[in-house]
Amino acid sequence: MKKKQSNFSELQIERAKFKPLLPEVLKNGLNSVVVVKGKPTKSVADHGKIKELFQHTYGLPIVTFKKGKNKALKKKTVKVAVVLSGGQAPGGHNVIAGLFDGLKKTNKKNTLIGYLGGPSGILKNKYQEITENILCDYRNTGGFDYIQSGRTKIEDPEQFCSTKENLSICAVDALVIVGGDDSNTNAAMIAEYLKAENMDKCVIGIPKTIDGDLKNKYIETSFGFDTATKIYSELVGNICRDANSARKYWHFVRLMGRSASHITLEVGFKTQPNIVLIGEEILAKNMTLSNVVNNIVEVIIKRSKAGKDFGVILVPEGVIEFIPEIKELISTLNDILAENKDEFSKLCSMEDKKQFVCKRLSKKLSTLMAELPSGIASQFMSERDPHGNVAVSLIETEKLLIEMVSKKLLELKKENKYNGKFASISHFFGYEGRCGMPSNFDANYTYALGYNAAMLLLNGFTGYMSYIKNLSLSTKEWECGGLSLPMMMNIEKRSGKEKPVIQKALVDLKGKPFREFVKNRNKWALNEEYLFPGPVQYFGPKDITEMTTKTLQYEHTKK
């Protein structure tokens, strides 16, 4: 149903007027674009196993687009379906808008439907036609509420069969899956299955995740990362200013980012807090939980001696999995819980559950588990997500660190090695950033990704991801094309089984962004060089409204 204008805020009304910009190659419509095929590709790792699993879609070439006449597209009429999969990210509605406009501008008879509620909508055959009458109210807005999202994973034979049948019932020629690494792994598997079944249907993936871990040479950033980090940076900047005003609290801020520290690093650049934990560095240095706590305590004591019993610490959501001893514990727990699912589910008390897993752990891990506070231990044993991952967002790492830092400082105080005051406040910023109104960058980027996906499917490509690169340059200089999904894959152990997945991109400790951070963190630790970026800017000077992430800026500047 069309939304009423009376439900629009003044900002929404103004944002509805925003016209996303397209890369130069796409500006004149898809009938004026031709495909250039590159060389065959191979997976990032585990070549033999990935090739065996994707016999019909492995080795596909990278494709790029250039200007040229493509009259065949105008004569072709297609019905396309789009589905939003996984967590929300700013700009999802503009992906739909770009896809819709690309299809309609090529041939007005082309149609687009949206599966409702994520991949479960495919299995239940629940969908609605995307029309301009309704879509106009969702352009440049945050959230996924037009067709909603979901985390259902299509992975067993019955689900694949249902997918094939429902796509056929709806006479869908192509399916566009908007999601992160797991969702796009799913897209690759669906593309392979349909190809093996001799189904002439295309499957295209779109790179979405605010975590920033869907990233490679061609996917320079996933959509939503820019907006989400700007939202978090405004909040952290406010906390930095509050800390510097009251001068009596240490703020421990946990930031979303399930398996990588990209968000925390970017927010660190934008706000310059006193301590920024980077999980990848902790893993590389083989640090224990005690090492991490001691490093924090060291900074707290130094600042206290300077009369500064306050500060701000950024903690990535997934840092707990980067501490080697904790990583080993979680991995072992994943296997134990997967192998003993039914028996474990019958246990009622947390103590019984803790004893159940401790009996199946090695002596070292059993001791570590027993030492964890009961609240944290229960979070470690919480129900896994559909992909077999521990729900790290439910592990209150910032509170664990506060408890351990407090304990360490109390010990040092008794030894007359610390005479300061330590008062703490914990924060977790996650859902606050997922559905924000997209920044100008994300509004342009997502629209281009959708438009570009239309180009891929209209030309019959399947098992591809839509990519736009050269993102640190002006929009008209962005390069467009398609990337083979199996090309990004490796084999990982999930729920005790080996599975093909798109390889996560972690913070590169040799990359320029991290090296820039290392150069500055000692200054940030002892001083108040806080930055206050404020809210996302949609109007004003271009150097503010078109500002991209610090991460992209550092990655694309000369060394």
d(CA 233, CA 227): 10
Are residues 532 and 238 in contact, defined by beta-carbon separation less than 8 angstroms?
Answer: yes
Residues facing residue 313 across a β-bridge? 252, 275
Residue 442 phi/psi, 5-degree rounding, is -70, -35
- Among left, alpha and beta (phi > 0; psi -120 to 50; other), residue 493 is beta
Residue 211 annotated in active site: yes
Residue 466 phi/psi, 5-degree rounding, is -70, 130
The torsion angle over the Cα atoms of residues 42, 47, 48 and 49, rounded to 10 degrees, is -110
Residues facing residue 469 across a β-bridge? 479
From the candidates 101, 211, 226, 442, give the one annotated as an active-site residue: 211
Nearest to 176 by CA among 198, 139, 205: 205
Output the CA–CA distances (angstroms, integers) from residue 215 to 120, 211, 267, 341, 349, in the order listed: 26, 10, 18, 34, 42
Amino acid identity at 389: N
Nearest to 232 by CA among 94, 442, 9, 427: 427
The torsion angle over the Cα atoms of residues 55, 61, 67 and 73, rounded to 10 degrees, is -10
Q: How many residues does the chain have?
A: 559
d(CA 183, CA 61): 21
Query: In a 3-state reduction of DSSP, which class is residue 67?
Result: strand
Nearest to 555 by CA among 317, 77, 219, 208: 219
Output the CA–CA distances (angstroms, integers) from residue 459 to 186, 200, 222, 480, 482, in the order listed: 22, 12, 24, 14, 11
Could you tell me the end-to-end alpha-carbon distance of the chain, in angstroms, rounded to an integer? Answer: 52
The contacts found for 538-547 with CB under 8 angstroms, 24 or more apart, are: 538/11, 538/14, 538/15, 538/18, 538/437, 538/439, 538/440, 539/14, 545/440, 546/440, 546/441, 547/441
d(CA 268, CA 516): 11
Neighbour count for residue 403 (Cβ, 10 Å): 16
Q: Annotated active-site positions, please?
A: 211
